[in-house]
Amino acid sequence: MFPDLTADDIFRIETKRLWLRWPRASDAPAITSFVSLAQIARMTASIPHPYPPGEAERFIMNARTGNASGTALVLAITQKGGSRQTIGLLSATLAVGREIEFGYVVAPHVWGKGFASEAVKALVDTVFGLTRANRILANSRANNVASRRVLEKTGFAFMDSGLDFLPARGGLHPCDRWQLDRKTWAARRRAGGESRHMPPMAQQAHDASEANVLVPAAPQVEE
């Protein structure tokens, strides 16, 4: 589903405040620092708690394998400037047919700054700009108000609620289901005065070793 462009670890997406890039082995300590928190894990389907030693390294290896095969696009969220430490994770994986499913998590110390919304919008634009996906799906815990706001602000529409199996949570839990189709995405971009197509790929470089996809910056939203 994903093109050769995203299957190279020099691929990354630039927004106004963030870089979204392949996760690296050196990201393991930063990733562990936030995904090991109970308040993070309990809102996800797959992050175990307590977080086992070596789990971050295993996650990074699996993410890089999926990216390289073109079956997924899993990216680390980093702030521009400074140490560019990983502050979150974002994933797009194949679902049924020509559909993509999103997942994301952001470290608590940067909550309320709009980073999740900015990153999700950038990945939405990238997925619809680079793939033939017809629809993007997302799932949030029914009590995760912050995640609901992120999805609403980035154009997702509420579908329904129900009990979904969350493997790491050990059973069925109330969840809200969301969708964003290509037609709605294109209409939102036109209404916002944005080009329907992505800018030229891998033609712009931040340095000699990294290719960028430049995405129009998301509106500054507090989430």
pLDDT level of residue 90 (50, 70, 90 thresholds) = very high
Assess contact for 90 and 125: CB atoms under 8 A.
no
pLDDT at 198: 52
Cα–Cα distance, 88 to 220 (Å, whole number): 18
Residue 181 inside a domain? The answer is no
pLDDT at 208: 31
Residue 166 inside a domain? The answer is no
Residue 118 inside a domain? The answer is yes
Share of the chain above pLDDT 70, in %: 87
pLDDT at 203: 33
Which alpha helices (H) appear in the chain, and where do they start and end?
Answer: 28-35, 38-41, 55-69, 115-130, 145-153, 182-191
Residue 143 inside a domain? The answer is no
Assess contact for 189 and 195: CB atoms under 8 A.
yes
pLDDT at 62: 97
Rounded mean pLDDT, 126-147: 95
Residue 69 inside a domain? The answer is yes
Q: Tell me, rounded to whole angstroms, the distance of Cα 53 from its chain centroid.
A: 24
DSSP 78-138: EESSTT--EEEEEEEEE-SSSEEEEEEEE-GGGTTSSHHHHHHHHHHHHHHHHS--SEEEE
Assess contact for 11 and 21: CB atoms under 8 A.
yes
Residue 124 inside a domain? The answer is yes
Cα–Cα distance, 131 to 84 (Å, whole number): 28
pLDDT at 217: 37
Output the CA–CA distances (angstroms, integers) from residue 152 to 40, 57, 178, in the order listed. Answer: 20, 32, 9
- Return the ∠ at Cα 99 (arms to 94 and 100), rounded to 5°: 50
For position 75, which CATH number holds? Answer: 3.40.630.30
pLDDT level of residue 84 (50, 70, 90 thresholds) = confident
- Return the ∠ at Cα 185 (arms to 179 and 188), rounded to 5°: 125
Rounded mean pLDDT, 95-121: 94
Predicted confidence (pLDDT) at residue 70 exceeds the cutoff of 80: yes
Structure-derived torsion over alpha carbons of residues 165, 167, 170, 175, reported in degrees to the nearest 10: -40
Predicted confidence (pLDDT) at residue 219 exceeds the cutoff of 90: no
- Return the ∠ at Cα 112 (arms to 108 and 118), rounded to 5°: 100
Residue 191 inside a domain? The answer is no
Residue that wins the pLDDT comparison between 82 and 115: 115
pLDDT at 97: 80
Rounded mean pLDDT, 72-84: 91
Cα–Cα distance, 101 to 135 (Å, whole number): 9
pTM of the complete model: 0.87
Cα–Cα distance, 85 to 93 (Å, whole number): 24
Rounded mean pLDDT, 84-99: 91
Residue 132 inside a domain? The answer is yes
* 162: three-class secondary structure by DSSP: strand
* Number of structural domains in the chain: 1
The residue segments making up the domain with residue 203 are 4-138+197-214
Cα–Cα distance, 26 to 38 (Å, whole number): 23
